[in-house]
Amino acid sequence: MSDDWWKSAVVYQVYPRSFQDSDGDGVGDLRGILSRLDHLEWLGVDVIWLSPIYASPQADNGYDISDYEAIDPTFGTLDDFDALLTAAHARGIKIVMDLVVNHTSDEHPWFLESRSSKRSPKRDWYWWRPPREGFEPGAPGAEPTNWRAFFSGSTWAYDEESGEYFLHLFHPKQPDLNWENPEVRQAVYAMMNRWLDRGVDGFRMDVINLISKVLPLRDGEPLPGGLGNGFPLYACGPRNHEFLQEMHREVFAGREGRFLTVGETPGATVDDAVLFTDPARAEVDMVFQFEHVDVDHGPLGKFDPQPLDLVRLKAILGRWQAALGERGWNSLYWDNHDQPRVVSRFGDDRDHWAASAKALAAVLHLMRGTPYVYQGEELGMTNAGFTSIDQYRDIESLGAYDELRAMDVPEQRILDGLAAMSRDNARTPVQWDASPHAGFTTGTPWLPVTANHAWLNAEAQRADPDSVAAFYRALIALRHDEPVVAHGTFAMLLAEDPQVFAYRRVLGDAVLTVAANLSGQDATARVDAAHGSLVLHNLGADTTPYPAGAGEVPLGPWEVRVYLARQAAR
């Protein structure tokens, strides 16, 4: 297996609590995943990325880990994990674990020991600071810095026992590990090595660009609402690359290249990504960027979405393709457990549901990079359609509701923003069939199944050669069969066209032309389809494909065409 096998691979993200329940408790589990491997094998994916399954109080649905080497009973046992790993490997599917080491749970033994006393040997495993000078411990404003947390409020929690504060960039139940401490780093590397020794095939690294903070810790620029912006002081920090290169030396260097590593890097620029993913630097294989999924955030942030500006989206994606074209590598994603469903967000889940789901899939999967399919995305699953704050479970959404209400933002505007952008949109159970709870559970699901599962489900789509799932399967097969998809160059076409997303891939004599109308109106793609054959389209089997070879291609609403030509190498 080549060291860069992941360049022609497709990764499928499983969010275990919403994938498949096997014991009727309403929460997905490992045995449930095992029972659905046929679906993943049919789809043709190469890797499963498992969101956290470790012991956790589940304050942030498992991204708050209390034991990195135990399986949370919600999901099963280590034996269940080993059975899943063995079965996946037997089908040629790798498993990549979610590595959440910027922070632990506040119930992790490391933190309990650190919190136990100022003189604890593990006190310096976390970020502890006295109150701000001139303030009484616990008094408003006594927080050591003015940083706002990702999940609203201050990033500092007061510990009455010691009269000090501990840092948590996310939730108070997610205290940040102090990566400046070599003991912390070595403990993380040892844990990673034990998982690799167990047979896992790599890691998705949660917010791995937040582990190095600018020292000394200091206030950020003021934000509306009284807190400050600490992000520039902890994102892509001064020792970030040093830590990742040390991790690579301590964990991966001595092993053969069968692993995939992907860093989640919110706020990273393309320049950061070139440094993270340049193979000569031995840090990570690829990163999840956020520019394209922040493109519709409004003045009030994520939960104030604006209409999509396609030209802007294309400019972002084109810039990332160009920057990582030769040095480094892109991940390619629309959906994950933190993002709303792309067919509802950038597509049209009312009048052009299937066509828009397929068009968005095609323009993503045929770019240069490794595609990630989030569970249910291959079915065209839609947003949940929640209308009341009582329906939400996600701490980010609930925190944002309270924060925006405190800013006197009208409730309906907030509820509209949550309905469009909440992470819970991605966390409703996978829709397997038309039965009650969509075949996800025989119990009561922890989050309700979306009503459209009556027609929008895997069983119906497996039987339909024109389904969204069948289209994803064809895209994945095209990547496996045609090297130009994984290894070809990338050139954006029609960059200023407000409707059409078009680009060209070239490798040797192969020329792949992708032309997609990402709008609800007719469009014309003025691209030379290079006289190629039409290898993929979303026109439906009964439609005569437009003859190849024209200088321009008419495209109906949400129509995508993919042409493949072979011409004498230029």
Active site residue ranges: 206, 264
d(CA 480, CA 477): 5
Q: Are 206 and 132 in contact (CB under 8 A)?
A: no
Pick the closer one to ligand TEU by CB: 335 or 396: 396
If one counts every other C-beta atom within 10 angstroms of the C-beta of residue 511, the result is 22
147 interacts with ligand TEU by CB under 6 A:
no
**In 337-443, which ranges are E strands?**
370-374
Residue 464 CA, chain-centre distance (Å), reads: 28
Q: Are 516 and 502 in contact (CB under 8 A)?
A: yes
272 interacts with ligand TEU by CB under 6 A:
no
Within positions 36 to 65, which residues make up the interface with ligand TEU, using CB under 6 A?
60, 63
Pick the closer one to ligand TEU by CB: 425 or 457: 425
Least distance in angstroms from the C-beta of 206 to ligand TEU: 5
Least distance in angstroms from the C-beta of 265 to ligand TEU: 9
338 interacts with ligand TEU by CB under 6 A:
yes
Least distance in angstroms from the C-beta of 198 to ligand TEU: 23
Select from 30, 32, 37, 34 the least CA-distant residue to 52.
30
Q: Are 9 and 370 in contact (CB under 8 A)?
A: yes
Pick the closer one to ligand TEU by CB: 99 or 360: 99
In the sheet that holds 533-537, the strands lie side by side as 489-493, 500-507, 510-517, 560-566, 533-537
Least distance in angstroms from the C-beta of 169 to ligand TEU: 8
If one counts every other C-beta atom within 10 angstroms of the C-beta of residue 401, the result is 21
Least distance in angstroms from the C-beta of 550 to ligand TEU: 41
- Give residue for tokens 């045995």: 31
Pick the closer one to ligand TEU by CB: 419 or 502: 419
Quick note: the x/- pattern for ligand TEU over 410-449, rule CB under 6 A, is -------------x--------------------------
Pick the closer one to ligand TEU by CB: 225 or 545: 225
Options 50, 207, 208, 536; binder of ligand TEU; rule CB under 6 A: 207
d(CA 92, CA 234): 39
d(CA 145, CA 227): 9
Options 100, 354, 361, 384; binder of ligand TEU; rule CB under 6 A: 100
If one counts every other C-beta atom within 10 angstroms of the C-beta of residue 31, the result is 17
- Give residue for tokens 């493949």: 564
Options 39, 108, 173, 302; binder of ligand TEU; rule CB under 6 A: 302
Least distance in angstroms from the C-beta of 188 to ligand TEU: 15
d(CA 292, CA 369): 15
d(CA 346, CA 383): 12
Least distance in angstroms from the C-beta of 340 to ligand TEU: 10
d(CA 237, CA 247): 16
Query: Per residue in 218-244, is it b (16+ CB within 10 Å) or e — as a string?
Result: ebbeeeeeebbebbebbbbbeebbebb
DSSP-derived 3-state class of residue 346: coil
Pick the closer one to ligand TEU by CB: 94 or 204: 204
Pick the closer one to ligand TEU by CB: 84 or 207: 207
Within positions 365 to 404, which residues make up the interface with ligand TEU, using CB under 6 A?
396
Pick the closer one to ligand TEU by CB: 29 or 335: 335
Longest CA pairwise span in the chain (Å): 76
Q: How many residues lie near ligand TEU (CB under 6 A)? A: 14
Query: Per residue in 322-338, is it b (16+ CB within 10 Å) or e — as a string?
Result: ebbeeebbbbbbbbbbb
Select from 303, 307, 393, 313 the least CA-distant residue to 345.
307
Options 68, 126, 150, 472; binder of ligand TEU; rule CB under 6 A: 150
Q: Which residues pair with 98 in a beta bridge?
A: 204
Least distance in angstroms from the C-beta of 355 to ligand TEU: 27
**What phi, psi does 298 have (nearest 5°)?**
-100, -165
Select from 162, 132, 126 the least CA-distant residue to 147.
132
Least distance in angstroms from the C-beta of 348 to ligand TEU: 23
170 interacts with ligand TEU by CB under 6 A:
yes
Options 144, 237, 266, 439; binder of ligand TEU; rule CB under 6 A: 266
Least distance in angstroms from the C-beta of 257 to ligand TEU: 26
CA quadruple 474, 476, 479, 480: dihedral sign = negative
Pick the closer one to ligand TEU by CB: 170 or 392: 170
Pick the closer one to ligand TEU by CB: 85 or 205: 205
Pick the closer one to ligand TEU by CB: 400 or 493: 400
Q: Are 46 and 13 in contact (CB under 8 A)?
A: no
Least distance in angstroms from the C-beta of 380 to ligand TEU: 21
333 interacts with ligand TEU by CB under 6 A:
no
Q: Are 252 and 261 in contact (CB under 8 A)?
A: yes
Q: Are 155 and 230 in contact (CB under 8 A)?
A: yes
Options 143, 164, 201, 206; binder of ligand TEU; rule CB under 6 A: 206
Select from 150, 191, 190 the least CA-distant residue to 171.
150
- Give residue for tokens 């956790």: 56
Within positions 60 to 79, which residues make up the interface with ligand TEU, using CB under 6 A?
60, 63
d(CA 322, CA 329): 10
Binding footprint of ligand TEU on the chain (CB under 6 A):
60, 63, 100, 150, 170, 206-207, 264, 266, 302, 337-338, 396, 423
